[in-house]
DNA sequence: AACTAATAGAGAATTTATTCTCGATATTTA
DNA sequence: TAAATATCGAGAATAAATTCTCTATTAGTT
């Protein structure tokens, strides 16, 4: 068993570091785009790095996690790399999802292009508001929330997306858990409590905003002091 | 100049580490909630940590960045801590923003509760589609995109939010830059190119999805092998 | 007033992530 | 064919983030 195998095995056992996981989609998108727009079949870390303004070694280590091997002087096969990323992230298999909260955000997600590439298929949406129910948005039915648990069990859907207002997020989570959810993608800006075996990822806008806000604040402080402070 | 002062100064000069910045809003939310629902005035890192399932020392170091000092055996003043976080992130000052793309996602953001707490005020939205213009959503006017640059300069708005489909994101960014944007919050899943002095933060759903997808994939692999593989 | 328990704060130790360096290899060019 | 060059892959070095350990301080308790 060579070194690469060891690393790949570890990546499967312990999972890739989160920073790596968050960069893989960037490579994925770039690769797909290159495949579409240009005719090239190979790519090197150097090029990927300069396109995305990342260190080439970092790109190489990330790619290593997916198990793809390259060739000196040439780089990687674009097609092979794309497949490897899909396989590594589980984007090669279809995951069906229920969405709770058919408001604007929910509707936006239902029409989100490219989720298909990630194997994510939102099969139905649910809402408490009867006015929002019985509609069809982007080809998906919106049903009353009371139907969620039953349908979820029956259809064996294991993935839930929460796009309800914060104050109802916990209820939504409870229903999804009752329906047998294995994972929940929570867009509400609240911490939801679920059993330990349920995976939760929060999409918290305020966390990103904080990063941006502080950068702006520091930039403003710099310009105010006429560039005296260098970072 | 004591040690704390040194650290705070550094946090102003170099900025806090991103992981810290992303955790501060979690504390902020918890503190606000505690202030509203309970009558307590003080809080310790231990409590914050156990509430949010974070290490107490980590919480303490994060708080240290904001310049707040606590008292042994007691902890921190909730009010003081809230203000310190607001000040540190720049959430104590109002930032006016223009939003480009009045689709579902844009509409969702316009109605997002709590942006006010972060000092973020979306003052107007813009769209190419004439059908979407001249409406008022959540009290904000939607205007035609052709008006963006002029209005932005006139009103001295320096913050832009992009919620257009990926294929138009670059155009939107160009307009915002032309209008004098200092910072852009990009919700389109594409890399936008802007001058170096413009701050960009991407809200890329695919990056989060990648983290979640891989966790699910690994979980499925574990259960398939009947728990033989432990992480 | 002494004792106990809880906590902040400082600094060390550890872990994790990123970047650098070098050798091996494949491709292209002279 | 030989030389030059770009790249991967491995490992070392560095940097960043997290966690641990200890001390001093404060509030409550006996």
Domain range annotation of chain B: 3-87, 95-206
Q: Residue B209's pLDDT is what?
A: 98
Task: Find, in chain B, the residue whose alpha carbon is nearest to that of A27.
Answer: B207
* Residue B63: count of CB within 10 angstroms of its CB: 25
Weakest mean pLDDT among A1-15, A33-47, A148-162: A1-15
Contacts with B182 from chain A: Cβ below 8 Å: 216, 219
Q: Residue B231's pLDDT is what?
A: 38
* Residue B38: count of CB within 10 angstroms of its CB: 10
In angstroms, the CA of A79 and the C1' of D20 are apart by 46
What architecture does CATH give domain B3-87? Orthogonal Bundle (1.10)
| Cβ contact B154:B123 at 8 Å | no
Is pLDDT at A231 greater than 50 in this prediction?
Answer: no
Phi-psi region of A67 (alpha: psi -120 to 50; beta: other; left: phi over 0): left
Contacts with A218 from chain B: Cβ below 8 Å: 12, 15
Task: Find, in chain A, the residue whose alpha carbon is nearest to that of B163.
Answer: A108
Which residue in the set A25, A111, A229 is minimally distant from B206, CB to CB? A25
In chain A, what percentage of residues exceed pLDDT 70? 92
Q: Which nt is closest to the CA of A59, judged by C1'?
A: C18
Reduced to 3 states (helix: H, G, I; strand: E, B; else coil), residue B129 is: coil
With distances taken from each CA to the C1' atom of nucleotide C6, the closest residue turns out to be B73
In chain A, what percentage of residues exceed pLDDT 90? 88
Cβ B113–A165 below 8 Å, yes or no?
A: yes
Q: Residue A223's pLDDT is what?
A: 84
User: What CATH number does domain A95-206 carry, 3.40.50.720, 3.30.390.30, 3.40.50.300, 3.50.7.10?
Assistant: 3.40.50.720
Would the Cβ of A83 be found within 7 angstroms of any atom in strand C? Answer: no
Q: Residue A43's pLDDT is what?
A: 98
Q: Residue B4's pLDDT is what?
A: 63
**pLDDT of chain B, 231 residues: tens digit per residue:** 555 666 666 676 678 999 999 999 999 999 999 999 998 999 999 999 999 999 999 999 999 999 999 999 999 999 999 999 999 999 999 999 999 999 999 999 999 989 999 999 999 999 999 999 999 999 999 999 999 999 999 999 999 999 999 999 999 999 999 999 999 999 999 999 999 999 999 999 999 999 999 999 999 988 877 654 443
CA–CA separation, A71 and A65 (whole Å): 16
In angstroms, the CA of B81 and the C1' of C1 are apart by 35
Structure tokens at A30: 């770039």
Task: Please name the residues in contact with A223: beta carbons below 8 A apart, sequence gap of 6 or more.
Answer: none
CA–CA separation, A115 and A122 (whole Å): 9
CATH 1.10.10.10 fits A3-89, yes or no: yes
- Two domains, one topology: A3-89 and A95-206: no
Would the Cβ of A14 be found within 7 angstroms of any atom in strand C? Answer: no
Q: Residue B7's pLDDT is what?
A: 66
Kindly list the distances between the CA atom of residue B95 and the CA atoms of A59, A216, B86, in Å, as whole numbers in the listed order: 36, 10, 13
Is pLDDT at A1 greater than 70 in this prediction?
Answer: no
Q: Which of residues 38-77 of A touch strand C (CB under 7 A)?
A: 54-55, 57-58, 61, 71-74
A13 confidence band (pLDDT: 50, 70, 90): low
Cβ B190–A24 below 8 Å, yes or no?
A: no
With distances taken from each CA to the C1' atom of nucleotide D19, the closest residue turns out to be B57
| Helix A78-89 × helix B205-224 angle, to 10° | 70
Burial B180-209 (b: 16+ CB within 10 A, else e): ebbbbbbbbbbbbebeeebbbbbbbbbbbb
With distances taken from each CA to the C1' atom of nucleotide C20, the closest residue turns out to be A57
The size of the A-B interface in CB pairs under 8 A is 172
Q: Residue A230's pLDDT is what?
A: 41
Region A209-229 average pLDDT: 83
Is pLDDT at A118 greater than 60 in this prediction?
Answer: yes
Burial B85-95 (b: 16+ CB within 10 A, else e): bbebbbbeeeb
Helix H or strand E segment including A141: strand A140-144
DSSP state of B38: S
Q: Which of residues 39-78 of A touch strand D (CB under 7 A)?
A: 44-47, 56-57, 60, 63-64, 69-76
Sign of CA dihedral B220, B225, B230, B231: negative
Task: Please name the residues in contact with A199: beta carbons below 8 A apart, sequence gap of 6 or more.
Answer: A182, A183, A184, B212, B215, B216, B219
Read off φ and ψ for residue B205, nearest 5 degrees.
-60, -35
Angle at A21 between CA A16 and CA A24, to 5 degrees: 125
The model's pLDDT over A14-62, given as tens digits with 9 standing for 90+, comes to: 789 999 999 999 999 999 999 999 989 999 999 999 999 999 999 999 9
């Amino acid at each position: 068993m060579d070194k690469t195998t060891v690393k790949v095995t570890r990546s499967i056992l312990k999972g890739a570091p989160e920073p790596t996981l968050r960069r893989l989609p960037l490579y994925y998108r770039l690769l797909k785009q290159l495949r579409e727009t240009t005719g090239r079949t190979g790519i090197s870390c150097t090029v990927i790095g300069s396109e995305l303004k990342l260190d080439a070694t970092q790109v190489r280590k990330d790619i290593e996690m997916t198990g793809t091997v390259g060739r000196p002087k040439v780089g990687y096969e674009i097609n092979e790399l794309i497949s490897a990323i899909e396989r590594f992230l589980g984007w090669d298999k279809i995951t069906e999802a229920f969405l709770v909260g058919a408001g604007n955000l929910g509707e936006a997600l239902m029409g989100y292009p490219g989720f298909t590439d990630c194997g994510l298929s939102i099969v139905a949406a649910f809402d408490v508001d009867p006015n929002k129910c019985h509609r069809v948005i982007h080809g998906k039915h919106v049903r009353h929330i009371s139907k969620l648990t039953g349908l979820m069990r029956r259809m064996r859907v294991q993935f839930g997306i929460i796009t309800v207002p914060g104050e109802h997020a916990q209820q939504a989570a409870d229903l999804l858990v009752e329906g047998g959810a294995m994972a929940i993608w929570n867009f509400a800006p609240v911490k939801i409590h679920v059993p330990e075996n349920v995976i939760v990822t929060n999409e918290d806008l305020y966390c990103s905003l904080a990063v941006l806000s502080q950068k702006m604040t520091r930039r403003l402080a710099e310009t105010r002091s006429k560039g005296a402070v260098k970072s």
